[in-house]
Amino acid sequence: METMFIDGKWIAAQSGETIDVVAPADGQVFDRIGRGGMYEIDLAVRAARKARSGAWGRMSATERGRILTKIGVGVLDAIDLFAPIEARDTGKPMTTARNDIVVLARYFEFYGAAADKVHGEVIPFLDGYAVQLLRDPLGVTAHIIPWNYPAQMLGRTLAPALAMGNAAVLKPAEDTSLSALKFAEIAMAAGLPAGALNIVTGYGHEAGAALTAHPDINFATFTGSNEVGTMVQRATAANVVKCVLELGGKSPQIVFADADLDRAVPIIVKAIIQNAGQTCTAGSRLLIERKAYDEVVGRVAEAFSKTRVGTPEMDLDCGPVMNPAQLARVQGFIDAAKSDGIPVLAEGKLAAGLPSGGYYATPTLFGPVPRNNKLARDEVFGPVLAAFPFADEADAIALANGTDYGLLAAVWTENAGRLTRVAKAVQAGQVFMNCYGAGGGVELPFGGTKRSGHGREKGLLALEEMSSTKTLVHYHG
Protein backbone atom coordinates (compact mmCIF):
# COMPACT_ATOMS: atom_id res chain seq x y z
CA MET A 1 0.00 0.00 0.00
CA GLU A 2 1.61 3.20 -1.14
CA THR A 3 0.44 5.37 1.73
CA MET A 4 3.73 6.97 2.73
CA PHE A 5 4.13 10.39 1.20
CA ILE A 6 7.85 11.11 1.30
CA ASP A 7 9.78 13.67 -0.72
CA GLY A 8 6.76 14.22 -2.97
CA LYS A 9 6.40 10.53 -3.87
CA TRP A 10 4.04 7.77 -2.72
CA ILE A 11 5.78 4.65 -1.45
CA ALA A 12 4.83 1.47 0.37
CA ALA A 13 6.39 0.32 3.64
CA GLN A 14 9.74 -1.34 2.98
CA SER A 15 8.51 -4.37 4.93
CA GLY A 16 5.49 -4.66 2.61
CA GLU A 17 3.28 -4.89 5.70
CA THR A 18 -0.09 -3.19 5.98
CA ILE A 19 -2.65 -2.28 8.61
CA ASP A 20 -6.39 -2.78 8.06
CA VAL A 21 -8.59 0.30 8.13
CA VAL A 22 -11.87 -0.34 9.93
CA ALA A 23 -15.09 1.70 9.80
CA PRO A 24 -16.33 2.38 13.37
CA ALA A 25 -19.93 2.50 12.10
CA ASP A 26 -19.99 -1.19 11.15
CA GLY A 27 -16.67 -2.71 12.20
CA GLN A 28 -15.88 -3.65 8.58
CA VAL A 29 -12.41 -3.44 7.02
CA PHE A 30 -12.66 -1.14 4.01
CA ASP A 31 -9.09 -0.13 3.23
CA ARG A 32 -5.45 -0.68 4.20
CA ILE A 33 -2.51 1.55 5.01
CA GLY A 34 1.20 0.83 4.99
CA ARG A 35 2.91 -0.07 8.26
CA GLY A 36 5.77 2.39 8.31
CA GLY A 37 8.47 2.32 10.94
CA MET A 38 11.97 3.50 11.67
CA TYR A 39 13.14 3.14 8.06
CA GLU A 40 10.36 5.26 6.55
CA ILE A 41 10.58 7.82 9.36
CA ASP A 42 14.26 8.25 8.65
CA LEU A 43 13.56 8.73 4.92
CA ALA A 44 10.89 11.30 5.77
CA VAL A 45 13.12 13.26 8.17
CA ARG A 46 15.90 13.30 5.56
CA ALA A 47 13.48 14.51 2.90
CA ALA A 48 12.28 17.28 5.22
CA ARG A 49 15.86 18.32 6.00
CA LYS A 50 16.61 18.43 2.28
CA ALA A 51 13.52 20.57 1.64
CA ARG A 52 14.69 23.03 4.29
CA SER A 53 17.94 23.57 2.43
CA GLY A 54 16.24 23.54 -0.98
CA ALA A 55 13.40 25.33 -2.73
CA TRP A 56 11.12 25.29 0.31
CA GLY A 57 13.74 26.78 2.62
CA ARG A 58 14.53 29.56 0.15
CA MET A 59 10.94 30.40 -0.66
CA SER A 60 9.70 33.85 0.36
CA ALA A 61 7.10 34.09 3.10
CA THR A 62 4.67 35.58 0.59
CA GLU A 63 5.01 32.61 -1.72
CA ARG A 64 4.60 30.16 1.18
CA GLY A 65 1.46 32.00 2.20
CA ARG A 66 0.15 31.83 -1.35
CA ILE A 67 0.62 28.05 -1.46
CA LEU A 68 -1.08 27.61 1.92
CA THR A 69 -4.01 29.73 0.78
CA LYS A 70 -4.27 27.61 -2.36
CA ILE A 71 -4.28 24.48 -0.22
CA GLY A 72 -7.22 25.92 1.73
CA VAL A 73 -9.13 26.52 -1.50
CA GLY A 74 -8.23 23.02 -2.73
CA VAL A 75 -9.55 21.48 0.48
CA LEU A 76 -12.87 23.29 0.16
CA ASP A 77 -13.17 22.38 -3.51
CA ALA A 78 -12.71 18.72 -2.59
CA ILE A 79 -15.18 18.72 0.32
CA ASP A 80 -17.70 16.42 -1.38
CA LEU A 81 -15.02 13.75 -1.70
CA PHE A 82 -13.20 14.58 1.48
CA ALA A 83 -16.07 14.62 4.00
CA PRO A 84 -17.34 11.09 3.19
CA ILE A 85 -13.77 9.72 3.59
CA GLU A 86 -13.49 11.38 7.00
CA ALA A 87 -16.99 10.24 8.02
CA ARG A 88 -16.29 6.64 7.06
CA ASP A 89 -12.89 6.61 8.73
CA THR A 90 -14.05 8.16 12.03
CA GLY A 91 -17.75 7.20 12.13
CA LYS A 92 -18.78 10.80 12.78
CA PRO A 93 -22.03 12.25 11.37
CA MET A 94 -21.68 13.63 7.85
CA THR A 95 -22.48 17.19 8.94
CA THR A 96 -19.70 17.05 11.53
CA ALA A 97 -17.27 15.61 8.99
CA ARG A 98 -18.09 18.39 6.55
CA ASN A 99 -17.57 20.95 9.27
CA ASP A 100 -14.19 19.40 10.08
CA ILE A 101 -13.12 19.81 6.45
CA VAL A 102 -14.22 23.44 6.50
CA VAL A 103 -12.12 23.98 9.62
CA LEU A 104 -9.14 22.28 7.94
CA ALA A 105 -9.48 24.74 5.06
CA ARG A 106 -9.88 27.60 7.51
CA TYR A 107 -6.51 26.80 9.14
CA PHE A 108 -4.79 27.11 5.78
CA GLU A 109 -6.66 30.31 5.00
CA PHE A 110 -5.72 31.84 8.36
CA TYR A 111 -2.05 30.84 8.38
CA GLY A 112 -1.68 31.37 4.64
CA ALA A 113 -2.69 34.99 5.16
CA ALA A 114 -0.42 35.28 8.23
CA ALA A 115 2.75 33.81 6.68
CA ASP A 116 4.25 37.13 5.53
CA LYS A 117 3.01 39.14 8.50
CA VAL A 118 5.34 37.66 11.07
CA HIS A 119 7.85 40.45 11.41
CA GLY A 120 10.96 40.64 13.49
CA GLU A 121 11.79 43.49 15.83
CA VAL A 122 14.29 46.26 16.18
CA ILE A 123 15.50 46.55 19.76
CA PRO A 124 16.88 49.84 21.14
CA PHE A 125 20.32 49.16 22.63
CA LEU A 126 23.54 51.00 23.42
CA ASP A 127 24.79 53.94 21.40
CA GLY A 128 26.62 52.66 18.31
CA TYR A 129 24.65 49.43 18.09
CA ALA A 130 21.73 48.23 16.00
CA VAL A 131 19.88 45.15 17.19
CA GLN A 132 17.50 43.06 15.13
CA LEU A 133 15.40 40.18 16.31
CA LEU A 134 14.82 37.71 13.47
CA ARG A 135 12.16 35.03 13.59
CA ASP A 136 13.42 31.80 12.05
CA PRO A 137 11.79 28.44 11.36
CA LEU A 138 12.72 25.68 13.79
CA GLY A 139 13.69 23.32 10.98
CA VAL A 140 12.16 19.84 10.78
CA THR A 141 8.94 19.55 12.77
CA ALA A 142 7.31 16.28 13.88
CA HIS A 143 3.55 16.03 14.22
CA ILE A 144 1.66 13.21 15.95
CA ILE A 145 -2.09 13.57 15.79
CA PRO A 146 -4.95 11.52 17.27
CA TRP A 147 -8.03 9.94 15.72
CA ASN A 148 -10.80 12.13 17.11
CA TYR A 149 -10.57 15.07 14.69
CA PRO A 150 -8.03 13.90 12.09
CA ALA A 151 -8.78 16.58 9.48
CA GLN A 152 -8.99 19.46 11.93
CA MET A 153 -5.79 18.31 13.65
CA LEU A 154 -3.97 18.22 10.33
CA GLY A 155 -4.79 21.86 9.81
CA ARG A 156 -4.11 22.89 13.37
CA THR A 157 -0.67 21.38 13.48
CA LEU A 158 0.60 21.65 9.89
CA ALA A 159 -0.62 25.06 8.75
CA PRO A 160 1.36 27.17 11.28
CA ALA A 161 4.43 24.96 10.90
CA LEU A 162 4.45 25.36 7.13
CA ALA A 163 3.58 29.07 7.34
CA MET A 164 6.82 29.58 9.28
CA GLY A 165 8.82 27.65 6.69
CA ASN A 166 9.40 24.47 8.66
CA ALA A 167 9.45 21.13 6.85
CA ALA A 168 7.04 18.70 8.47
CA VAL A 169 6.79 14.98 9.11
CA LEU A 170 3.32 13.81 10.10
CA LYS A 171 2.35 10.50 11.70
CA PRO A 172 -1.45 10.28 11.68
CA ALA A 173 -3.25 7.89 14.05
CA GLU A 174 -3.33 4.41 12.59
CA ASP A 175 -7.13 4.36 12.98
CA THR A 176 -7.65 7.49 10.88
CA SER A 177 -4.94 8.11 8.31
CA LEU A 178 -7.07 8.53 5.21
CA SER A 179 -7.76 12.26 5.44
CA ALA A 180 -4.02 12.92 5.70
CA LEU A 181 -3.45 11.02 2.45
CA LYS A 182 -6.20 12.91 0.65
CA PHE A 183 -4.75 16.12 2.07
CA ALA A 184 -1.28 15.36 0.70
CA GLU A 185 -2.70 15.09 -2.83
CA ILE A 186 -4.32 18.51 -2.46
CA ALA A 187 -1.17 20.07 -1.00
CA MET A 188 0.93 18.71 -3.85
CA ALA A 189 -1.54 20.01 -6.44
CA ALA A 190 -1.39 23.44 -4.78
CA GLY A 191 2.36 23.54 -5.37
CA LEU A 192 3.82 22.55 -2.00
CA PRO A 193 7.41 21.54 -2.85
CA ALA A 194 8.57 17.95 -2.36
CA GLY A 195 9.73 17.27 1.18
CA ALA A 196 7.96 20.23 2.81
CA LEU A 197 5.33 17.78 4.05
CA ASN A 198 6.00 14.08 4.57
CA ILE A 199 3.54 11.54 5.90
CA VAL A 200 4.37 8.17 7.39
CA THR A 201 1.47 5.87 8.25
CA GLY A 202 1.87 3.16 10.85
CA TYR A 203 1.51 2.32 14.51
CA GLY A 204 2.23 4.83 17.24
CA HIS A 205 4.67 2.61 19.10
CA GLU A 206 6.61 2.04 15.85
CA ALA A 207 6.44 5.00 13.45
CA GLY A 208 5.35 7.48 16.16
CA ALA A 209 8.06 6.45 18.59
CA ALA A 210 10.71 6.47 15.83
CA LEU A 211 9.69 9.98 14.79
CA THR A 212 9.73 11.56 18.24
CA ALA A 213 13.06 9.89 19.06
CA HIS A 214 14.68 10.86 15.76
CA PRO A 215 17.85 12.87 16.48
CA ASP A 216 17.37 15.17 13.48
CA ILE A 217 13.97 16.68 14.32
CA ASN A 218 13.85 20.16 15.87
CA PHE A 219 10.37 20.19 17.33
CA ALA A 220 7.52 17.79 18.08
CA THR A 221 3.86 18.37 18.69
CA PHE A 222 1.62 15.68 20.11
CA THR A 223 -2.08 15.45 20.87
CA GLY A 224 -3.38 12.36 22.62
CA SER A 225 -3.23 10.52 25.91
CA ASN A 226 -1.24 11.49 28.99
CA GLU A 227 0.54 8.17 28.90
CA VAL A 228 1.90 8.59 25.38
CA GLY A 229 2.43 12.34 25.83
CA THR A 230 4.81 11.59 28.67
CA MET A 231 6.67 9.16 26.41
CA VAL A 232 6.92 11.82 23.71
CA GLN A 233 8.29 14.35 26.16
CA ARG A 234 10.90 11.81 27.31
CA ALA A 235 11.87 10.90 23.74
CA THR A 236 12.29 14.51 22.66
CA ALA A 237 14.12 15.42 25.88
CA ALA A 238 16.80 12.88 25.02
CA ASN A 239 17.74 15.06 22.03
CA VAL A 240 16.89 18.38 23.73
CA VAL A 241 14.05 18.95 21.30
CA LYS A 242 11.16 21.22 22.20
CA CYS A 243 7.72 19.63 22.36
CA VAL A 244 4.16 20.86 22.62
CA LEU A 245 1.72 18.51 24.32
CA GLU A 246 -2.06 18.58 24.27
CA LEU A 247 -3.30 15.83 26.55
CA GLY A 248 -7.01 16.18 27.05
CA GLY A 249 -9.09 17.39 29.93
CA LYS A 250 -11.98 17.11 32.33
CA SER A 251 -13.47 20.46 31.51
CA PRO A 252 -16.10 21.96 33.83
CA GLN A 253 -19.30 23.75 32.90
CA ILE A 254 -19.91 25.94 35.97
CA VAL A 255 -23.57 26.89 36.19
CA PHE A 256 -24.82 29.40 38.77
CA ALA A 257 -28.48 29.65 39.76
CA ASP A 258 -28.94 32.90 37.82
CA ALA A 259 -27.64 31.48 34.51
CA ASP A 260 -29.64 31.90 31.31
CA LEU A 261 -30.64 28.25 31.04
CA ASP A 262 -32.42 28.61 27.71
CA ARG A 263 -29.06 29.48 26.25
CA ALA A 264 -26.89 27.24 28.41
CA VAL A 265 -28.67 23.88 28.31
CA PRO A 266 -28.40 23.04 24.59
CA ILE A 267 -24.76 24.18 24.55
CA ILE A 268 -23.92 22.09 27.63
CA VAL A 269 -25.46 18.98 26.05
CA LYS A 270 -23.72 19.53 22.72
CA ALA A 271 -20.36 20.08 24.42
CA ILE A 272 -20.36 16.48 25.69
CA ILE A 273 -22.30 14.72 22.91
CA GLN A 274 -20.44 16.21 19.96
CA ASN A 275 -18.06 13.69 18.38
CA ALA A 276 -19.46 11.08 20.82
CA GLY A 277 -17.60 12.85 23.63
CA GLN A 278 -14.25 12.07 22.00
CA THR A 279 -13.14 15.65 22.22
CA CYS A 280 -10.25 16.78 24.37
CA THR A 281 -12.27 19.88 25.20
CA ALA A 282 -15.52 18.03 25.93
CA GLY A 283 -17.44 19.72 28.75
CA SER A 284 -17.51 16.51 30.78
CA ARG A 285 -18.27 17.93 34.25
CA LEU A 286 -21.47 19.83 34.99
CA LEU A 287 -21.02 21.90 38.17
CA ILE A 288 -24.29 23.38 39.42
CA GLU A 289 -25.03 25.78 42.27
CA ARG A 290 -26.84 23.63 44.81
CA LYS A 291 -29.97 25.78 45.10
CA ALA A 292 -30.60 25.33 41.35
CA TYR A 293 -29.30 21.77 41.11
CA ASP A 294 -32.66 20.04 40.61
CA GLU A 295 -33.88 22.53 38.04
CA VAL A 296 -30.66 22.58 35.98
CA VAL A 297 -30.16 18.84 36.09
CA GLY A 298 -33.80 18.33 35.12
CA ARG A 299 -33.49 20.57 32.09
CA VAL A 300 -30.17 19.10 30.99
CA ALA A 301 -31.57 15.57 31.45
CA GLU A 302 -34.55 16.39 29.27
CA ALA A 303 -32.35 17.67 26.44
CA PHE A 304 -29.79 14.91 26.96
CA SER A 305 -32.42 12.16 26.65
CA LYS A 306 -33.31 13.47 23.19
CA THR A 307 -29.82 12.87 21.79
CA ARG A 308 -29.59 10.23 19.09
CA VAL A 309 -26.65 8.08 18.03
CA GLY A 310 -26.32 6.76 14.50
CA THR A 311 -24.19 6.08 11.45
CA PRO A 312 -22.52 8.89 9.47
CA GLU A 313 -25.31 8.69 6.88
CA MET A 314 -28.06 8.98 9.53
CA ASP A 315 -26.36 12.24 10.51
CA LEU A 316 -27.71 12.40 14.07
CA ASP A 317 -26.22 14.02 17.19
CA CYS A 318 -23.24 11.69 17.27
CA GLY A 319 -21.81 8.51 15.83
CA PRO A 320 -20.01 5.49 17.23
CA VAL A 321 -16.81 5.72 19.24
CA MET A 322 -13.54 5.02 17.48
CA ASN A 323 -12.64 1.41 18.13
CA PRO A 324 -13.40 -1.59 20.35
CA ALA A 325 -10.87 -0.42 22.97
CA GLN A 326 -12.56 2.97 23.20
CA LEU A 327 -15.99 1.34 23.47
CA ALA A 328 -14.74 -0.91 26.26
CA ARG A 329 -13.21 2.10 28.02
CA VAL A 330 -16.42 4.14 27.85
CA GLN A 331 -18.58 1.19 28.84
CA GLY A 332 -16.18 0.51 31.72
CA PHE A 333 -16.77 4.03 33.10
CA ILE A 334 -20.55 3.66 32.71
CA ASP A 335 -20.63 0.23 34.38
CA ALA A 336 -18.39 1.36 37.23
CA ALA A 337 -20.52 4.45 37.92
CA LYS A 338 -23.65 2.31 37.94
CA SER A 339 -22.13 -0.25 40.27
CA ASP A 340 -20.99 2.59 42.55
CA GLY A 341 -24.69 3.44 42.83
CA ILE A 342 -24.48 6.81 41.06
CA PRO A 343 -27.94 7.67 39.69
CA VAL A 344 -28.44 7.72 35.90
CA LEU A 345 -30.31 10.96 35.18
CA ALA A 346 -30.71 10.48 31.43
CA GLU A 347 -29.60 8.34 28.53
CA GLY A 348 -29.48 9.13 24.83
CA LYS A 349 -30.88 6.66 22.33
CA LEU A 350 -29.21 4.45 19.77
CA ALA A 351 -31.04 4.72 16.44
CA ALA A 352 -32.94 1.70 15.17
CA GLY A 353 -31.21 -0.41 12.55
CA LEU A 354 -27.58 0.26 13.52
CA PRO A 355 -25.06 -2.15 11.95
CA SER A 356 -24.33 -4.88 14.49
CA GLY A 357 -20.54 -4.62 14.21
CA GLY A 358 -20.37 -0.88 15.05
CA TYR A 359 -18.94 0.63 18.24
CA TYR A 360 -21.94 2.46 19.67
CA ALA A 361 -21.98 3.82 23.22
CA THR A 362 -25.11 5.11 24.92
CA PRO A 363 -24.78 8.76 26.02
CA THR A 364 -25.26 8.80 29.79
CA LEU A 365 -25.77 11.59 32.33
CA PHE A 366 -24.88 10.74 35.94
CA GLY A 367 -25.49 12.76 39.07
CA PRO A 368 -24.88 13.66 41.75
CA VAL A 369 -21.39 12.20 41.35
CA PRO A 370 -19.27 11.95 44.53
CA ARG A 371 -16.25 14.22 44.27
CA ASN A 372 -13.84 11.36 44.89
CA ASN A 373 -15.32 9.11 42.20
CA LYS A 374 -13.19 8.38 39.14
CA LEU A 375 -15.92 9.93 36.99
CA ALA A 376 -15.00 13.19 38.74
CA ARG A 377 -11.31 12.94 37.89
CA ASP A 378 -10.58 10.80 34.83
CA GLU A 379 -11.12 11.64 31.18
CA VAL A 380 -13.71 9.23 29.76
CA PHE A 381 -13.40 10.40 26.16
CA GLY A 382 -16.96 9.32 25.52
CA PRO A 383 -20.52 10.71 25.76
CA VAL A 384 -20.67 10.62 29.57
CA LEU A 385 -21.55 13.71 31.58
CA ALA A 386 -21.11 13.90 35.36
CA ALA A 387 -23.13 16.41 37.44
CA PHE A 388 -22.03 17.82 40.80
CA PRO A 389 -23.68 20.35 43.13
CA PHE A 390 -21.58 23.15 44.63
CA ALA A 391 -22.30 25.48 47.54
CA ASP A 392 -20.97 28.88 46.50
CA GLU A 393 -18.43 30.67 44.33
CA ALA A 394 -15.40 29.50 46.32
CA ASP A 395 -16.63 25.93 46.29
CA ALA A 396 -17.28 26.12 42.54
CA ILE A 397 -13.70 27.24 41.91
CA ALA A 398 -12.26 24.55 44.19
CA LEU A 399 -14.33 21.89 42.45
CA ALA A 400 -13.50 23.19 38.98
CA ASN A 401 -9.78 23.15 39.78
CA GLY A 402 -9.92 19.82 41.61
CA THR A 403 -8.61 17.63 38.79
CA ASP A 404 -5.16 17.09 37.31
CA TYR A 405 -6.39 18.67 34.06
CA GLY A 406 -6.80 22.29 33.00
CA LEU A 407 -7.78 22.61 29.36
CA LEU A 408 -11.11 24.43 29.07
CA ALA A 409 -13.86 25.73 31.32
CA ALA A 410 -17.14 27.55 30.97
CA VAL A 411 -18.88 29.86 33.43
CA TRP A 412 -22.59 30.52 33.20
CA THR A 413 -24.04 33.41 35.24
CA GLU A 414 -25.80 36.72 34.64
CA ASN A 415 -23.73 38.34 37.40
CA ALA A 416 -20.96 40.17 35.51
CA GLY A 417 -18.60 40.48 38.46
CA ARG A 418 -18.84 36.81 39.32
CA LEU A 419 -18.45 35.84 35.66
CA THR A 420 -15.06 37.55 35.48
CA ARG A 421 -13.91 36.51 38.98
CA VAL A 422 -14.60 32.84 38.36
CA ALA A 423 -13.18 32.91 34.81
CA LYS A 424 -9.94 34.37 36.18
CA ALA A 425 -9.71 31.85 39.03
CA VAL A 426 -10.28 28.72 36.96
CA GLN A 427 -7.14 26.90 35.81
CA ALA A 428 -7.55 26.40 32.06
CA GLY A 429 -6.06 27.49 28.76
CA GLN A 430 -9.40 28.79 27.53
CA VAL A 431 -12.42 29.93 29.55
CA PHE A 432 -15.76 30.53 27.88
CA MET A 433 -18.15 32.97 29.52
CA ASN A 434 -21.82 32.28 28.80
CA CYS A 435 -20.78 30.29 25.75
CA TYR A 436 -18.72 27.22 24.90
CA GLY A 437 -16.47 26.72 21.93
CA ALA A 438 -15.11 23.21 22.37
CA GLY A 439 -11.64 24.45 21.58
CA GLY A 440 -12.71 27.63 19.90
CA GLY A 441 -11.96 29.00 16.47
CA VAL A 442 -8.67 28.81 14.65
CA GLU A 443 -7.95 32.39 15.77
CA LEU A 444 -8.01 31.59 19.47
CA PRO A 445 -4.81 30.47 21.22
CA PHE A 446 -5.40 27.06 22.72
CA GLY A 447 -3.64 24.63 25.01
CA GLY A 448 -3.56 23.33 28.53
CA THR A 449 -2.28 23.90 32.01
CA LYS A 450 -1.37 21.19 34.53
CA ARG A 451 -1.61 17.68 33.00
CA SER A 452 -3.54 18.94 30.00
CA GLY A 453 -0.13 19.75 28.58
CA HIS A 454 1.94 22.74 27.63
CA GLY A 455 2.55 25.01 24.69
CA ARG A 456 0.00 26.84 22.58
CA GLU A 457 -1.57 26.03 19.25
CA LYS A 458 -4.05 28.02 17.14
CA GLY A 459 -4.08 31.76 16.64
CA LEU A 460 -0.97 33.80 15.99
CA LEU A 461 0.72 32.31 19.06
CA ALA A 462 1.17 29.03 17.17
CA LEU A 463 3.51 30.88 14.82
CA GLU A 464 5.68 31.74 17.80
CA GLU A 465 5.61 28.16 19.10
CA MET A 466 6.74 26.88 15.71
CA SER A 467 9.58 29.31 15.23
CA SER A 468 12.60 30.57 17.07
CA THR A 469 14.28 33.96 17.44
CA LYS A 470 17.79 35.02 16.61
CA THR A 471 19.17 38.27 17.98
CA LEU A 472 21.57 40.11 15.66
CA VAL A 473 23.77 42.65 17.45
CA HIS A 474 25.57 44.97 15.06
CA TYR A 475 28.23 47.46 16.27
CA HIS A 476 28.37 50.23 13.72
CA GLY A 477 30.21 52.85 15.79
Verify binding: residue 228, ligand NAP, rule CB under 6 A: yes
Q: For residue 167, what are the contacts with CB-CB under 8 A and spacing of at least 6?
A: 47, 48, 49, 51, 52, 56, 57, 139, 140, 141, 195, 196, 197, 198
> Checking DSSP bridges between strand 167-171 and strand 140-144, what pairing results, if any?
parallel
Task: Give the residue at shortest CB distance from ligand NAP.
Answer: 204
| 342-381 footprint of ligand NAP as x/- string (CB under 6 A) | -------------------------------------x-x
Residue 241: CB minimum distance to ligand NAP, A: 13
Spatial separation of the C-alpha atoms in residues 30 and 451, rounded to whole Å: 36
Spatial separation of the C-alpha atoms in residues 459 and 434, rounded to whole Å: 22
Spatial separation of the C-alpha atoms in residues 71 and 112, rounded to whole Å: 9
In terms of CB distance, is 251 or 253 closer to ligand NAP? 251
In terms of CB distance, is 18 or 305 closer to ligand NAP? 18
The closest of 205, 257, 251 to 231, measured between CA atoms, is 205
Concerning whether 435 is annotated as a catalytic residue, the answer is no
Residue 224: CB minimum distance to ligand NAP, A: 3
Residue 413: CB minimum distance to ligand NAP, A: 28
Residue 233: CB minimum distance to ligand NAP, A: 11
Tell me the number of residues near ligand NAP by CB under 6 A.
29
Longest dimension (CA), the chain: 81
Residue 240: exposure state from Cβ atoms within 10 A (0-12, 13-18, ≥19): exposed
- Residue 53: count of CB within 10 angstroms of its CB: 12
Q: For residue 472, what are the contacts with CB-CB under 8 A and spacing of at least 6?
A: 131, 132, 133, 134
| Selected range binding ligand NAP among 5-13, 60-68, 219-227, 408-416, rule: CB under 6 A | 219-227
- 374-384 per-residue burial string, b: 16 or more CB within 10 A, e: under 16: ebbebbbbbbb
Catalytic residue among 40, 174, 280, 379: 280
In terms of CB distance, is 325 or 473 closer to ligand NAP? 325
Q: Where are the alpha helices (DSSP H) in 190-315?
A: 209-212, 226-237, 261-273, 293-304
Q: For residue 306, what are the contacts with CB-CB under 8 A and spacing of at least 6?
A: 348
Verify binding: residue 203, ligand NAP, rule CB under 6 A: yes
In terms of CB distance, is 231 or 301 closer to ligand NAP? 231
Verify binding: residue 100, ligand NAP, rule CB under 6 A: no
74, 146, 367, 447: which one contacts ligand NAP (CB under 6 A)?
Answer: 146
The closest of 191, 181, 233 to 59, measured between CA atoms, is 191
Verify binding: residue 253, ligand NAP, rule CB under 6 A: no
Concerning whether 63 is annotated as a catalytic residue, the answer is no
Catalytic residue among 109, 206, 246, 465: 246
In terms of CB distance, is 47 or 280 closer to ligand NAP? 280
Residue 235: CB minimum distance to ligand NAP, A: 7
Spatial separation of the C-alpha atoms in residues 116 and 133, rounded to whole Å: 16
| Selected range binding ligand NAP among 75-83, 189-197, 243-251, 456-464, rule: CB under 6 A | 243-251
Residue 244: CB minimum distance to ligand NAP, A: 12
Spatial separation of the C-alpha atoms in residues 456 and 223, rounded to whole Å: 12
Verify binding: residue 208, ligand NAP, rule CB under 6 A: yes
72, 224, 358, 440: which one contacts ligand NAP (CB under 6 A)?
Answer: 224
Spatial separation of the C-alpha atoms in residues 90 and 145, rounded to whole Å: 14
Residue 68: CB minimum distance to ligand NAP, A: 23
- 70-109 per-residue burial string, b: 16 or more CB within 10 A, e: under 16: bbbebbbebbeebbebbbbbbbbbbebbbbbbebbbbbbb
Helix (H, G, I), strand (E, B) or coil at 169: strand
Spatial separation of the C-alpha atoms in residues 44 and 37, rounded to whole Å: 11
| Selected range binding ligand NAP among 225-233, 292-300, 350-358, 394-402, rule: CB under 6 A | 225-233
| 375-414 footprint of ligand NAP as x/- string (CB under 6 A) | ----x-x---------------------------------
Spatial separation of the C-alpha atoms in residues 412 and 434, rounded to whole Å: 5
Verify binding: residue 462, ligand NAP, rule CB under 6 A: no
| 273-292 footprint of ligand NAP as x/- string (CB under 6 A) | -------x------------
Quote helix, strand, coil % in the chain, to nearest 5.
Answer: 40, 20, 35
The helix or strand, by DSSP H or E, that contains position 419, with its residue range, turns out to be helix 416-425
212, 251, 253, 284: which one contacts ligand NAP (CB under 6 A)?
Answer: 212
In terms of CB distance, is 272 or 396 closer to ligand NAP? 272
Spatial separation of the C-alpha atoms in residues 118 and 47, rounded to whole Å: 26
Verify binding: residue 205, ligand NAP, rule CB under 6 A: yes
Residue 55: CB minimum distance to ligand NAP, A: 29
| Selected range binding ligand NAP among 68-76, 121-129, 208-216, 438-446, rule: CB under 6 A | 208-216
Q: Summarize as ranges the residues that interact with ligand NAP (CB under 6 A).
A: 144-148, 171, 173-175, 203-205, 208-209, 212, 223-225, 228, 231-232, 246-248, 280, 326, 329, 379, 381
Residues classed as catalytic: 246, 280
